[in-house]
A and B are shown apart, each in its own frame.
Chain A
Amino acid sequence: MIALLWLRGLVRRRPIELAGAALAIALAVGFLSSLGNFVAVNRAHLTSRAAASVGVDWQVQVAPGASTSQVAAAVTKLPGRRAVEQIALAAVPGMTASTGGATRTTGKAIVVAMSPSYVATFPTEVRQLLGDQTGPVLLQQTAANLAAGPGDTVQVRTVAGRSVKVVVTGVVDMPLADSFFQTVGAPAGVGPAAPPDNVLLVPPADFPQLAAGAAVIHQVHVSFNHQLLPADPAAAANRDTTVRNHLEAQLTGGALVGDNLGAALTAAREDALYGQLLILLLGVPGFLVALALTAVVIGVRGDRRLRELSLLRLRGATRRSLVVVAALEATAVTAVGVALGWPVTRLASGWAFGASTTSWSWFAVAAVLVAATAAAMHIGPSMREMRAGVRTLPGVRAVEVPASGRPRVLAYRLDFVLLAAAAVVFYLVARGGYQVVVVPEGVPVTSVDWAALLAPALAWPGLALLVWRIVDTVLSRLRPVRDGAGAELVLAALKRRRRGAARGATALAVAIGVAGSTAVFTATYRQQSRLDVALTVGADVAVQLPADPATAQRDTALTAHAPHVRATSLQTHRFAYVGSDLQDLYGVDPATIAKAAPLRDAFVPGTTIASDLSKLRSTPDGVLLAAETLHDYQLHPGDTIRLRLQSGAAHTYQPFPFTVLGQVSEWPTAPKDSFIVANAAYIAKITGAGADTTVLAASNSPGSTAQWLRSRLGTTAKVSDISAARASVTTASGLAASDLGGLARLELGFGVLLAVASFGLSLLVGVLQRRRALVILAALGATARQRGRFLAAEARAVLAGGLVGGAAITAAVAAMLVKVMTGIFDPPPDHPVIPWSYLALVVALVTVTAVVVVAVVGRWAGRAGPRELRDL
């Protein structure tokens, strides 16, 4: 009964304090629950996106001598199967077309037997560009090579030595040609083969005469119902593997499975683990700040609650009933806070990553954790006080001795210990090429190097304590800069209250650190994602030139004068042997490439791009090699290396000497492993042969430049641009920017909220705790301005300490995060990107908060009304 009366009184008399505590609880619950929601939604999203990125889930290749129909029958019985199509492939010596008075011949070509229904079943595999697919269709590149289109006749030379004429009905693009033409059953470790340039797709009825005498590969292409896959990428990959094993066991060597779905899900497993690591690294510090905020808000009423409980005790209430009273207050506030946490979660999840559902389990976890904190803050101090003895009224009103000392942990130099440990762990983790997430291909087990998280985990508290120590030290050594208006007294008061100021500054620094480090990390990630896409395309816009020199020259000139283009440069591609290793060789123009292509100093370890290009310009036979090549062949700058390149009309491989200039790790359009960069002009001179040439263009508006070029170049040249690629391609590192975007929005949104709330609250608590002092000052004749100086001094100390400390924490943690999570950056960044606008917003908001609290709340708190004066 007494507890209910108490609660009713609280609601009537202290609504603002109770509402503040409930809102803080709602914020903390909403934050953690939203993070959990992100984990659940992101996993499902990764799975569905990985599955959707695959054109054909399985390419089941029928073993020589096995029955295609048997394999197809076995596949048809697989659980979750959606569709099955059969194709056949055969290599032919070449194709010829006579159009426009010229006859053009290709080299080796692939003829594919494909039923008209295939396109409907696997719509992402074949994209119709011209004509239709009622008869033979040419791949875009082949059509360009032969200068043939719908209605033209193409002669196919068969292995049997015949020449078969077909009339082309269309031209298509095969966006997923890499996987379509993969070598099914290739041993692990063998790099993927390049897809063929010359492809003819024919109806199954036309195939036998074209494939006469050739070795025919039969494949059964399968798609599964992706809705039936488990939401978790790892579970989905395991499910896929078990079904595949089942089929292979059933067919007993009759077929090999090219598991595109499994490969995509395996990559998604890695992304999911990185997602979880990001939650731990970015989310957990934010949640701890939110919990601390809850504790502080509940603590605001702590002294008053103790006084009130002491009064109850004096009036005869039992200890048990006091605990019940405190528990009832805790329960009521927590219940309201948790209830409000639900809409906060819905709103935050919807805004940050478009989630329309909420994970109950994560909400429950968040509610329990926050409720436990709230209960401890409500009941803990009451229990302690009750055990220590009843506070009598005079005791309660005794003058406090302001806390100016440091926390005991600082005396033990825990900050230095933690930071030293973090530095050692970070050094050990980051010194070599390590992977924080290891997802072996084909193995269902994934592993995370949790030790990598130890460095940030140690650094966070270490940095927070260091900020506390520095603010405390600076405040204790401050001297008044001017005499007059009681500056020395303002400073004396600040020094003696420096524990509170240092605590406030530390809280603000940590909150800014959470927001700032997240912002830096995500801005860096966004930049690298864009760079990754640009590297895949080659530049903002890339135009692959046709073989015909006249057309190529025209297309080059058109590209250089296309709208929004800033610079262009030609890059050739061919292959060269280093020893027995066939590598991609890129011929560049060192004078122009840097302006047209996205080159970074990080691509050339130990030097700069400008320096390497300058060396390349002054050394015509110079080459930049991959680290692996330099290591494997024991090469050093200045050494001579003999590369074998195709030269002359016969296209035979001949050795040519080159001078090693240095190392290169990334290059536009280059593969991840070994490749060579050399002077295009020099290579053309020594080989006398042409090569695939691409115009790389830097554009201020890649989308519109590409559109303009496509409309003018037609099908003769292939135009790519980063805006189109970014929309369809996830980054090579796997985790797409959109995945991180949801987490970033959540973190950045709550980060600002936490920074402003923790700072505003710490100031507010300071003002409220000093309300009596402000009234005394007013009674002694202090003007509002003089009273404001006492508050502003503390606000300035907290603000300055918090901002400087926050900047330091942001820099340290962001650098650590970028290093620890280097696996998701591809390519690794030169340096972290600083999102100035977001950081300026955070600084502006906390500054405005300081002004509002000091000016408005301070004036209100210093009001010396009858009630306050009678209390003196």
Chain B
Amino acid sequence: MTGDLLLEARGVEIRYDDAVIVSDVDLQLHAGDEVALVGRSGSGKTTLLLALAGLLMPSAGRIDRHGLERKDIGVVFQSPSLLPELSALENVALPLRLAGGASAADAFARGRDSLRDLGISEDDALPGELSGGQQQRVAVARVLVTGARIVLADEPTGSLDRRTADVVLASLRAHCAAAGGALLVATHDLHVAHALPTRMEVNAGTVAGRAA
């Protein structure tokens, strides 16, 4: 328990096409939490993450964000999910411009800084012109630039080499620490799981336990 309660799931169940994907999940994220959500493929990690981000409505149960808005929660998707017709810098500036709080110049300046933090200098390159790893780092930069207090990352290092994965993970952790937020990383990469102080295991849609 390291700080204020930011996000809380109680008895969350998510059904899809009559199949129960996530069942009776209770989970709390406090400021300063860095949690690895581990489990096999198909265990429901991604679905749970999407529900916590507010992108999916739970079929049952409740998710409280304790005063946080949707823009305060950033999501790093399993694949980079960049808009192919926007450059790396434009992709990063996009959420700022959609939220409407930043001018174009400000958004691009912040985006540029965020890309530099993740070691990307190809601001004008289109996603299709970047390697898979570079694309993933741009996707991470796109989340970090928003200043989100909670970052939910789905396999953020899946397509990265060890060294780059470490850089990305360090960036995510540094961001959350600076924002006074929390980090929840869904992964089946044990290296990542062990790098984080807390681990939860998802098994057949249920969160089996919490280990420090």
Residues of A within 8 A of B (CB): 397-402, 483-486, 488-489, 492-493, 496-497, 772-773, 776-777, 779-782, 786, 864, 866-867, 869-870, 872
User: Known: A402-B85, A870-B47. Is A488-B104 also a contact (CB below 8 A)?
Assistant: yes
Contact A489 B78 (CB under 8 A): no
State which of B16, B56, B98 has its C-beta within 8 Å of the C-beta of A780: B98
CA distance A483 to B84 in the complex (A): 22
Q: Which residues of A contact B142 (CB under 8 A)?
A: 780
Q: Which residues of A contact B84 (CB under 8 A)?
A: 399-402, 773
Q: B75 an interface residue at 8 Å Cβ cutoff?
A: yes
Q: B55 an interface residue at 8 Å Cβ cutoff?
A: yes
Q: B46 an interface residue at 8 Å Cβ cutoff?
A: yes
User: Known: A781-B95, A872-B79. Is A485-B100 also a contact (CB below 8 A)?
Assistant: yes
A-B contact pairs, 27 of them (CB 8 A): A398-B128, A399-B82, A400-B84, A401-B129, A402-B85, A402-B126, A486-B98, A488-B104, A489-B93, A492-B85, A492-B86, A493-B85, A496-B85, A772-B81, A776-B83, A779-B55, A780-B95, A781-B71, A782-B98, A786-B98, A866-B16, A869-B50, A869-B56, A872-B77, A872-B78, A872-B79, A872-B81
Q: Closest residue of chain A to B46, judged by CB? A: A870
A788 vs chain B, min Cβ distance (A): 13
Q: B90 an interface residue at 8 Å Cβ cutoff?
A: yes
User: Known: A402-B85, A485-B100. Is A779-B94 also a contact (CB below 8 A)?
Assistant: no
Q: B187 an interface residue at 8 Å Cβ cutoff?
A: no
Q: Which residues of A contact B97 (CB under 8 A)?
A: 485-486, 488-489
A866 vs chain B, min Cβ distance (A): 5
Contact B94 A780 (CB under 8 A): yes
CA distance A488 to B108 in the complex (A): 11
User: Known: A492-B85, A492-B86. Is A779-B98 also a contact (CB below 8 A)?
Assistant: no
CA distance A347 to B157 in the complex (A): 60
A869 vs chain B, min Cβ distance (A): 5
CA distance A98 to B64 in the complex (A): 117
B121 vs chain A, min Cβ distance (A): 19
Q: Which residues of A contact B100 (CB under 8 A)?
A: 484-485
B29 vs chain A, min Cβ distance (A): 20
Number of B positions contacting A (CB below 8 A): 38
Q: Which of B145-191 contact A (CB under 8 A)?
A: none
Q: B210 an interface residue at 8 Å Cβ cutoff?
A: no
Residues of B within 8 A of A (CB): 14, 16, 21, 46-47, 50, 55-56, 70-71, 75, 77-87, 90, 93-95, 97-100, 103-104, 126-129, 135, 142
Contact B85 A497 (CB under 8 A): yes
Contact B127 A399 (CB under 8 A): yes
CA distance A864 to B142 in the complex (A): 19
Q: Which residues of B contact A493 (CB under 8 A)?
A: 83, 85-86
Q: Which residues of A contact B94 (CB under 8 A)?
A: 486, 489, 780
Q: Closest residue of chain B to A493, judged by CB? A: B85
Q: Which residues of A contact B16 (CB under 8 A)?
A: 866-867
Extra contacts, 6 of them, besides A488-B104, A489-B94, A492-B85 (Cβ < 8 A), are A400-B84, A486-B97, A492-B86, A492-B90, A496-B86, A866-B16
State which of B70, B81, B128 has its C-beta within 8 Å of the C-beta of A776: B81
CA distance A492 to B14 in the complex (A): 38
Q: Which residues of B contact A782 (CB under 8 A)?
A: 98
Q: Closest residue of chain A to B80, judged by CB? A: A399
Contact B129 A870 (CB under 8 A): no
CA distance A399 to B78 in the complex (A): 14
Q: Which residues of A contact B104 (CB under 8 A)?
A: 483, 488
Q: Which residues of A contact B50 (CB under 8 A)?
A: 866, 869-870
Contact A399 B75 (CB under 8 A): no
Q: Name the residue among B84, B126, B127 with the largest chain A CB count within 10 angstroms.
A: B84
Q: Which residues of B contact A786 (CB under 8 A)?
A: 98
CA distance A398 to B84 in the complex (A): 10
Q: Closest residue of chain B to A486, judged by CB? A: B97
Contact B77 A779 (CB under 8 A): yes
Q: Which residues of A contact B81 (CB under 8 A)?
A: 772, 776, 779, 872
Q: Which residues of A contact B99 (CB under 8 A)?
A: 781
A569 vs chain B, min Cβ distance (A): 68
B179 vs chain A, min Cβ distance (A): 17
CA distance A485 to B97 in the complex (A): 6
Q: Which residues of B contact A872 (CB under 8 A)?
A: 77-79, 81
Q: Which residues of B contact A492 (CB under 8 A)?
A: 85-87, 90
Q: Which residues of A contact B55 (CB under 8 A)?
A: 779, 864, 869
Q: Give the top 6 A-B pairs by smallest Cβ distance, nearest first.
A: A401-B128, A486-B97, A872-B77, A496-B85, A493-B85, A399-B127
CA distance A535 to B42 in the complex (A): 84
Q: Which residues of A contact B127 (CB under 8 A)?
A: 399
CA distance A402 to B99 in the complex (A): 25
Q: Closest residue of chain A to B108, judged by CB? A: A488
B62 vs chain A, min Cβ distance (A): 19
Q: Closest residue of chain B to A484, judged by CB? A: B100
Q: Which residues of A contact B103 (CB under 8 A)?
A: 483
Q: Which residues of A contact B85 (CB under 8 A)?
A: 402, 492-493, 496-497, 773
Contact B47 A399 (CB under 8 A): no
Contact A777 B83 (CB under 8 A): yes
